[in-house]
Structure 1
Amino acid sequence: MTQALVQDVVAEVMRRLGNKTPGSPASNSGGVRAGEDAAANDAKIASRGPTVSVPIGQHGIFGSVDQCVAAATEAQKKLSRLSLADRDGIVKLIKSIAKQNAQLWGKIELDETKIGRLDHKIEKLQILELVPGVEFLKTTADSGSNGVCLEEYAPFGVIGIITPVTHSVPTLSANAVSMIAGGNAIVANPHPSGTNCAAIAVAEYNKQINAKYGVDHLITCIVPPTLETADQIFNHRGIQLLVVTGGPAVARAALKASKRAIVAGPGNPPVVVDETACLQNAARSIVAGASFDNNLLCIGEKQVFCVESVFDKLMTEMEKAGGFILNARQIEALTGRAFVIDPKDNKPHVNKDFVGKDASVLAAAAGTSVPPTTQLLVGETNKDHPFVQEEQMMPFVPFVRVKNVDEAIDLAIQSEHGYRHTALIHSRNLDTITRFGRRAATTLFVVNGGSPSGLGLGGQGFLSYSIATPTGEGITTPLTFTRYRRIMMTGSLRMI
């Protein structure tokens, strides 16, 4: 990673999430020098970064990338000797552990990261059972006069992952399910502000996996995670694949790495509402999707474009569905607090102090108060408003009044900024739905539902917390983290 790119990542982290740069990188990033005691080195490393409540050097928690890779490599070899049924058992064990600890881990994560909602932190761990496992690994066979051809899916080996602060334990856990199902081991570099909760989960997963299957360190976690350790993961020869979930700068860094990277990048999902829509359903869907974990989801509804003939009716339905409507003065006050002008580009950027905060916090910044049950704020803005153009990750959704659905589609696509992540529409006109879907060309396209339905929550399909839009893999599954292999037995095994 170039120095300029490192600076980009620092700027991105500071701008989006406001975390202090995690210390000046040490010369060897915690690697053990000749003659240096490993335990003493781990203790020294831990003192530089976030405090964790699990022992370093045990059950997957290490102080350097080299130690993580060595342990994960050995664990992956042991995993490869287990049966597919054992692999399935490990995956189900991870899901069970996450569900059993959902309330405790949800609170630990919220206390550490200070963003999102406790009930949804808990729910994101309880629904891990919807993440697919070994059932996706199906061998195909083709036989003919020339022999038998088998096509199978093999592991990469050791996968290096970068996880976001927005969904620290859920993303790590879901990745573990899919990657271990595919036969891989993991080296995780969690976000510095979500280190402790990630380490707690990793240690518990490894402890129970080792007790039942005799494999420890199948998931490893670097403590403390830094920009330097992320760079080492990107370039380590013992890591065969990168999986990065995060913002634009981290995505760019991964795409410049000298090995294959699967990148789950940013999104700014627009919603189109036309005159044929069921407005009651649209309102309920928008509130449910945009308020989930205080709009931290990358798929969450971020801005709405509604035709003027039903705009006022939709706003009435939004209020009935639990949305609190801000007036123009209140929106202006909130905007002045929720965004800051960067002197470098003279443009508004998200104020990290408001990312993932409750609706009541935003309401206070707007100069008003809301009932304690309020989950989402809404209000009318123009198309160029910062809340429309920025992926703001707050429980306030701007609504833009447009003349017709053609204008709605044009503005929605412009506001999505070509991320091709997620777009939504509420309409009963199949031609309009088709036209928007084709033009948006997003990985997720949700029709007449809330954004979570695109991931199997209230809709068909399966769950994943890493949606690879920049690199095209889409909603990741165990197959995403495998290598295609063909075995051709020429003239053999033909019984008839």
Structure 2
Amino acid sequence: MELIDKDLLSIQEVRCLIAKAKAAQVKFRQYSQEQIDKIVKAMADAADLEAVRLAKLAHQETGFGKSEDKIIKNIFACKTVFNSIKDLKTVGIINEDREKKIIEVAEPIGVIAGLIPSTNPTSTTIYKSLIALKAGNAIIFSPHPSAKQCILETVKILSEAAIKAGAPEGIIGCMSVLSMRGTEELMKHKDVSLILATGGEAMVKAAYSSGTPAIGVGPGNGPAFIEKSANIPLAVKRIIDSKTFDNGVICASEQSIVVEKEIKDQVVAELKKQGAYFLTQEESDKLGKYMLRGNGTINPQVVGKSVEKLAELAGLNIPKNAKVLISEQTTVSKDNPYSREKLAPILGFYVEENWEKACDRCIELLENEGKGHTLIIHSNNDDIIKQFALKKPVSRLLVNTCGSLGGIGATTNLVPALTLGCGAMGGSSTSDNVGPMNLLNLRRVAYGVREFADLREEGTSNERIQLSQEYVENLVKNILEKLAM
């Protein structure tokens, strides 16, 4: 009875949130670009002031990552994301091509359902709120249960700032009574126009199966290939910095290192020098058994944990100064946890004969998990980089940069985002780093540039008539021949 009551309460809360959001968005869609920009800036400024507190709340509640790195992610969301969108035109006529006589008019989508993960809870909430309202939409959040309080607090800060700056009440909402039935109601409700899903594979699949248009992202499993022309010490530094950032919870972070046999010893020596610990076979087996659960999924207890905590959980005796745990592997499969997405400072390590074999190994890793997401290459050979760009089943190929921060657009010129599309190959509706332009429709006004009579004249030219006559004559001839037989 208690479970049924919670479901009913959750469903009722969702319906109320949707009704308020719909009413608010009807008003909000009439706002000018200047009004919307003022509101979005107020939200970003409010989040910036609370970035440190929200990061600490997220760390305390979830136990994932590091609070100092979550501060950086919050600031990325309210500064870098904001700066990338602040000058975008998202209201009214946003583009006019006089030569082609096409006008593009931005149209808000309506009410968006935002699913928020526990790995990046406050930063993702800030980011999704900014891009949703920038495009003229309302948004309602469904928090991951283990990050409920920090997400609710983030929504409170953003909502108050938006309303104070002139937004209608209800433009940002958040579920507080959480249940699967409530989230299903949010995703399937007729007044919700789009689902923006960031989270586990099951949740993203549910979003796409809801019947409501959705933008969802799959798991990452990005290999990092160190090619022999690379600056090896710098490549290793970037990988370790990236994999230790917030204890590896960003899905674009490196999951495996792939190297050519020729430089294996150099790379291994550099990794050890910079704080990586290579597990023995016994240690790899022990940690691997802890990582992979009986149902074939990665144990959530490893997510966002430090090396020290991982060693404690798996019963390993690891040096105190170790930053990353590395296991040398030769196989790729669902049963090998080192060849899968590990949102923790753990890396698989593969040695291949040459760059072509390394290319094949990277594809194998991506086909195993993370198809459509991200791959990282460290190289100074432009020809090899281009070969990787042509062959890899990914939406973003990062060159000579950190996977985690490069993928989200912090150390690259990709669109700054915390929802990274995987394209159709990865089961996603987009391959973009998702921004405001993904959250609006374009109405295209197209002027006539040629007359129907001109098309008729083109289609009845002497040459075309001659071809048609020849076709008919041959057809009749073939029929007569068959009848004669």
Aligned ranges for residues 190-339 of structure 1 at < 5 Å?
Answer: 190-339=143-292
Residue 416 of structure 2 is aligned to residue 463 of structure 1 = yes
How do 1:69-108 and structure 2 match up within 5 A?
69-108=18-57
- Cα 1:113–1:23 change in 2 (3 A) is farther
Counterpart of 1:450 (choices 399, 402, 416) is 402
Q: 2:71 aligns with which of 122, 131, 149?
A: 122
Contact 2:121 2:147 in 1 (8 A): yes
- Report deviation, 1:122: 1.1
Tell me, in whole angstroms, the C-alpha distance in 1 between the residues paired with 2:398 and 2:150. 32
Matched, 1:476 2:426: no
Task: Report the structure, 1 or 2, having the larger helix content.
Answer: 2
* Conserved? CA contact 2:38–2:165, under 8 Å: no
Instruction: Encode CA deviations 1:72-118: one digit per residue, 9 max, x unaligned.
Output: 11221232233211211222222222221111111111111111111
- Rounded to whole Å, the distance in 1 between the matches of 2:127 and 2:200 is 19
1:28 is paired with a residue of what secondary structure?
Answer: helix
Quickly say closer, same or farther: Cα 1:126–1:23, change in 2 above 3 A. Answer: farther
Task: State the shift of 1:490 in Å.
Answer: 8.0
**Structure 2: which amino acid aligns with 1:483?**
N
Matched, 1:425 2:373: no
Deviations 1:185-215 (A, max 9, x none): 0011111111111111111211122123152
Provide the TM-score with structure 1 as the length reference.
0.82
Change (3 A) 1:301 1:228: same
Q: Secondary structure at the match of 1:94?
A: helix
Distance, in Å, in 2 between the alignment partners of 1:24 and 1:273 is 54
Does the 8 A contact of 1:84 with 1:134 survive in 2?
Answer: no
1:323: how far off? Answer: 2.4
Asked if residue 406 in structure 1 is aligned to residue 386 in structure 2, the reply is no
Aligned equivalent of 1:438: 390
What is the aligned partner in structure 1 of residue 327 from structure 2?
379
Letter in 2 for 1:142: D
Distance 1:240 1:308, change over 3 A: same
- Could you tell me how far 1:296 is from its partner in structure 2? 0.8
Whole-angstrom CA distance in 2 between matches of 1:412 and 1:391? 13
| Residue 341 (structure 2) aligns with | 391
* Secondary structure of 1:424 counterpart: strand
Please tell me whether residue 352 in structure 1 is matched to residue 300 in structure 2: yes
Q: Is the 8 A contact 1:251 1:264 kept in 2?
A: yes
Alignment check: 8 A CA contact 1:303 1:387 kept = no
Cα distance in 1 for residues equivalent to 2:240 and 2:431: 29
Q: Give the Cα–Cα distance (whole angstroms) in 2 for the partners of residues 186 and 319 of structure 1.
A: 46
Distance 1:96 1:253 in 2: 34
Contact 1:192 1:224 in 2 (8 A): no
In 2, the alpha carbon distance for the partners of 1:78 and 1:199 equals 24
Q: Distance in 1 between matches of 2:446 and 2:387?
A: 44
Cα distance in 2 for residues equivalent to 1:158 and 1:97: 23
Q: Which amino acid aligns with 1:480?
A: N
Q: Which segments of 5 or more consecutive residues in structure 1 lack a partner in the other structure?
A: 1-21, 33-63, 492-496
- d(CA) in 2 for partners of 1:66, 1:252: 22
SS of the equivalent of 2:146 reads helix
The whole-number CA distance in structure 2 between the counterparts of 1:357 and 1:23 is: 32
Q: Distance in 2 between matches of 1:359 and 1:468?
A: 29
Q: Distance in 1 between matches of 2:345 and 2:236?
A: 14
Alpha-carbon offset, residue 431 of structure 1? 2.4
Shift of 1:382: 2.5
| 1:380 positional shift | 1.9
Preserved CA contact (<8 Å) 1:272 1:426: yes
Q: Give the percent of matched residue pairs that are identical in Structure 1 and Structure 2.
A: 24
Q: Residue in 1 aligned with 2:140?
A: 187
Question: After the TM superposition, which of the residue ranges 248-257 and 361-370 deviates more from structure 2?
Answer: 361-370
CA distance in 2, matches of 1:351, 1:235: 30
Residue pair 2:7, 2:182 contacting (<8 A) in 1 also = no
Rounded Cα–Cα distance in structure 2 between residues aligned with 1:209 and 1:112: 26
Residues of 1 paired with 2:364 and 2:198: CA distance? 23
Structure 1 residue 465 displacement after superposition: 0.4
Q: Distance in 1 between matches of 2:182 and 2:445?
A: 38
SS at match of 1:467: coil
Take 2:159 and 2:35, find their aligned partners in 1: how far apart are those partners? 15
1:436 is paired with a residue whose SS is: helix
**Cα distance in 1, alignment partners of residues 199 and 7 from structure 2:** 26
Of structures 1 and 2, the one with the larger relative CO (CA 8 A, separation 6+) is 1
Q: CA deviation at 1:291?
A: 1.4
2:87 maps to amino acid: E
Q: 1:149 deviation in Å?
A: 4.3
1:38 is matched with none
Q: Which secondary structure state, in structure 2, belongs to the residue aligned with residue 89 of structure 1? A: helix
Matched AA of 1:414 = E
- For residue 170 of structure 2, give the secondary structure of its aligned residue in structure 1: coil
Displacement of 1:464 in angstroms is 0.3
**RMSD of equivalent CA atoms:** 2.3
- Aligned-partner Cα distance in 2 for 1:27–1:275: 57
Instruction: Give the number of equivalent residue pairs.
Output: 431
- Where 1:213 maps in the other structure, the secondary structure is coil
- Compute the displacement of 1:362 (Å): 1.8
Distance 2:443 2:116 in 1: 29
**Equivalent in the alignment of 1:51:** none
Q: Residues 195 and 223 of structure 1 are in contact (CA less than 8 Å); yes or no, is this contact kept in structure 2?
A: yes
SS at match of 2:87: helix
Q: Does 1:485 align with 2:437?
A: no
Deviation at 1:334, TM superposition (A): 1.9
Letter of the 1:377 partner, please give it: L
What is the rounded CA distance, in whole Å, between the counterparts of 2:10 and 2:381 in structure 1?
59
The TM-score with structure 2 as length reference comes to 0.83
Change (3 A) 1:336 1:149: closer
**Alignment CA distance shift 1:137-1:264 (3 Å):** farther
1:36 equivalent in structure 2: none
CA distance change for structure 1 residues 483 and 438 in 2, over 3 Å: closer, same or farther?
same
Deviation at 1:134, TM superposition (A): 4.5
Stretch deviating more after TM superposition (164-173 or 383-392): 383-392
In structure 1, distance between residues paired with 2:230 and 2:431: 31
